[in-house]
Amino acid sequence: MLSNGVYINPWATLLFKTSYDLNYKNIKSTVQEYISERPKNTSLLEKGVAYSTVAHQSNPPHLWPEFKDFCAELLITLKELYAEHRILDKENCLLQSWLNTHGLGGETLEHSHNLVDFVVTCYLNLPDNGGFIEFRDPLEYHKANSYINPETDLWVPIPCKTNDILIFPGWLKHRVQPNNSEEERVVLTINVGTPNAVQSMQA
């Protein structure tokens, strides 16, 4: 047995997890008012008792004064991640943000954010049995000759709780498990990249 080998993984997929007190109890009424003022579900990615404000980018949450301190801290962290992972820092900024809410049984289907550098997922409220985000194995084609069940073997859930923050590359496919709680799951999502990425998404 060749027992003295080492793993070399210079291209590990970036998946960064941290936490921040997002103070949802104090901003809950603001969040609910923001959602109530916008047309009901316009996202094909939401299933069941679910709603997203992704299509409504007027006064997006990352520009709210309630998130000013958090976004300032987030930009510092992002700058460090850009440098650590040798990604060219191209005047990165917070491009878009939206709120997702999921009632009992609500979920988000598989998708990615291909035109942005990073996605930031912020758990404003995640009840017990509220469901976790799952990521699809980016090496699935490397495993194509193996017997795998694509619905179970290619997906990895990331346990989270209220106030957890996840940062991951926009190209990484992901989905969100159904909420099995009577309490609502509330998530703030932020796209990070260069200003011209928004123009490309709108083209």
Higher pLDDT, 108 or 202: 108
Report the C-alpha gap between 188 and 37 in whole angstroms: 17
- Is 6 buried (19+), middle (13-18) or exposed (0-12) by CB count in 10 A? exposed
Report the C-alpha gap between 51 and 102 in whole angstroms: 7
In which band, very low, low, confident or very high, does the pLDDT at 189 lie, cut at 50, 70 and 90? very high
Higher pLDDT, 198 or 162: 162
Identity of the amino acid at 131 = G
Percentage above 70 pLDDT, the chain: 86
- Taking only the tens place, the pLDDT of each residue in 66-84 is 999 999 999 999 988 888 8
What is the average per-residue pLDDT within 152-172? 94
Domain positions in the chain: 16-36+44-202
What was the pLDDT predicted at 19? 97
Residue 59 pLDDT exceeds 70: yes
- Taking only the tens place, the pLDDT of each residue in 45-58 is 999 999 999 988 88
Residue 203 pLDDT exceeds 60: no
Report the C-alpha gap between 171 and 92 in whole angstroms: 16
Residue 66 tokens, joined: 């309630």
In 49-170, which ranges are continuous DSSP H helix?
A: 68-84
Contact between 124 and 183 under an 8 Å Cβ cutoff? The reply is no
Lowest mean pLDDT among 4-18, 56-70, 144-158, 185-199: 144-158
CATH 2.60.120.620 fits 16-36+44-202, yes or no: yes
Contact between 179 and 102 under an 8 Å Cβ cutoff? The reply is yes
What was the pLDDT predicted at 145? 66
If you average pLDDT over every residue of the chain, what do you get?
A: 88
What was the pLDDT predicted at 9? 77
- Taking only the tens place, the pLDDT of each residue in 86-95 is 666 566 689 9
Contact between 120 and 74 under an 8 Å Cβ cutoff? The reply is yes
Percentages helix, strand, coil for the chain (3-state, rounded to 5) are 20, 30, 50
Overall size of the chain counted in residues = 203
DSSP E strands, the chain: 16-19, 46-47, 50-52, 93-102, 107-111, 118-125, 133-136, 155-158, 164-169, 174-176, 185-193
Half-sphere exposure (CA, 13 Å, Cβ side) for 171? 5
Lowest mean pLDDT among 56-70, 72-86, 152-166, 187-201: 187-201
Higher pLDDT, 41 or 202: 41
